[in-house]
Amino acid sequence: MTQSAAVTLFLQRVFDSFANGSAYAALAVAISMVFRSTGVLNLAQGQMAMLSAYIAVVFAAGADPGVAFSGWLTPFATPWPIWAAVAGAVVVSAAVGALLEYTVIRPMRGDPVPTIGATLGLYLLIGVFVVKHFGGRQRFLGSPFPQEHTDRFIIGGARLWFDTIGLTLTMLAAIGLLALVQRTTKVGLAFRAITSNRDSSALVGIRVEWVVMGGWAVAAALGGLAGGLIAGELNVRPDMMERLLIFGLAAATLGGLRSPALALAGGYLFAFAETMMAGYVGFIDSQVTLVWALGVLIVVLSVRPSGLLSRKAAREGLRT
């Protein structure tokens, strides 16, 4: 292989990592948000995103008798555009996230062991719900971004697809907007306050339970956006988010489960490492890279539970 061909191949693998990295980062940030506000590791985050993708399929199908719930969830007989279907699914996901926090998580009173068990139960319940009502069948949603064979840039001989650019920029914009809201609005400041000290926040009049519910809603919406957009790269099926959840958990762990910024960076780092290992190490395939991510997750939790987050910040519950 010539040097120019090797550079082109490297660039292509970098570009290929962007879409998965955006999905990993979104799930990692969502997991981090829930953990910061409640101290709970939400094992159902991936399944909630998968459900959002199926909801987007319902909206995109219109009144299609072959699609579960489309007859009464879709107020119009005509199918929605894909971008509108994904947006509608994000709104429904936020409502579902808030409802689950209110009915399932809040009664646990912050006890971490039964609460994590509850999120595992939600993981199983959502999977059964989708299999029962959607038949577990694979669906095709498509992407809101151009996907024709000519919709691409050629950079150094490598192809950068418009779909990849759109997905990456959308997820970065959503995460950036979330960070801006947290830093500049009263709601965002209230969320940051309860992640530092819930008791003191309650004493100064912050309605902690409402803020936590809002955090669950935003995390579900962010995961739902990732699920709806990644469906343009993957077919919608019950197990579509399982792999992404593991990488999202690993990425969030790099941030000590408390730093959205490090979780975001970890998502892209894991996607880059996954693509490069599968491309350059002959005996490594997609299943082995999954084991590698689990290995990193175990090692980080064993050696440095705070991840890349400073131990002082981890103790205080603050972001770096």
Strands 158-161 vs 152-155: parallel, antiparallel or unpaired: antiparallel
- Furthest-apart CA atoms within the chain: distance in Å: 67
Provide the percentage of residues in the chain whose pLDDT is more than 70: 85
- Cα 313 to Cα 300: distance, rounded to the nearest angstrom: 17
| CA dihedral (36, 38, 43, 49) positive or negative | negative
- Cα 159 to Cα 304: distance, rounded to the nearest angstrom: 39
In contact, 133 and 69? CB cutoff 8 Å:
yes
Provide the percentage of residues in the chain whose pLDDT is more than 90: 22
The answer to whether residue 299 scores a pLDDT higher than 90 is no
Environment class of residue 126 by beta-carbon count within 10 Å: exposed (0-12), middle (13-18) or buried (19+)? buried
Across all residues in the chain, what is the average pLDDT?
82
pTM reported for the whole predicted model: 0.85
In contact, 141 and 231? CB cutoff 8 Å:
yes
Q: How confident is the model at residue 250, as a pLDDT?
A: 84
Q: Considering just the CA atoms, what is the radius of gyration of the chain in Å? A: 20
Give the type of residue at 229.
L
| 97 pLDDT tier (thresholds 50, 70, 90) | very high
| 110 pLDDT tier (thresholds 50, 70, 90) | low
How many CB atoms are located within 10 Å of the residue 33 CB?
27
Q: Which two tokens stand for residue 206?
A: 């912050």
- Considering 54-63, 250-259, 309-318, the range whose residues carry the highest mean pLDDT is 54-63
